Amino acid sequence: MTDIFNKVSIGVLDSLEKRKISEEFLSMCREALTELKKFQLTAMRYPDSINALKLFSASDTCYLVLQKSISELEQAKARGENPTTLEKLQDVLLYVCSIGKELDYIFNKKVGVEVTKIRKETFELQEKAEGLNLLDKIDIRVNSLPGKTAATYISRIEV
């Protein structure tokens, strides 16, 4: 479903040009959020444990950033601050779309995994998102994982 990430990328640029956050754009962002949730679940079933964790981490980071971004965009739209908030978030939204396209290619096209690019982009996204207060620092997020999820991570690493 790469189309949704392409649509969101185009939607970011189109919304910036029009200086308006449309409901259609927000709807596309929500659809991309749903797709990222599917990627999280798919990543945990990936046969290679190490790559599964890396792919889950990328999916999860994108999901959390997009979720928080949608909330901020909705609030900005309600306040009439459309271009200001969108300008602030454009880089992280485009990173999410880029990583989303890569994840889609891996999960839906069933090709070999090249996680190096995804890992690099995910770290860059994390830095930008942390700087915008869209994401907690990684150590805070890991320490706040529910016990069952943390146990799943640990069991995958020990395999």
| Separate counts of helices (H) and strands (E) for the chain | 7, 0
pTM of the model: 0.83
pLDDT of residue 103: 92
| Tally of residues, the chain | 159
Angle at 43 between CA 26 and CA 12, to 5 degrees: 20
C-beta of residue 16 within 8 angstroms of C-beta of residue 87: yes
pLDDT tens-digit series, residues 50-93? 888 889 999 999 999 999 999 999 999 999 887 888 999 999 99
C-beta of residue 40 within 8 angstroms of C-beta of residue 81: no
pLDDT of residue 47: 84
pLDDT tens-digit series, residues 34-58? 999 999 999 988 888 888 888 999 9
Which one-letter amino acid corresponds to residue 46?
A: Y
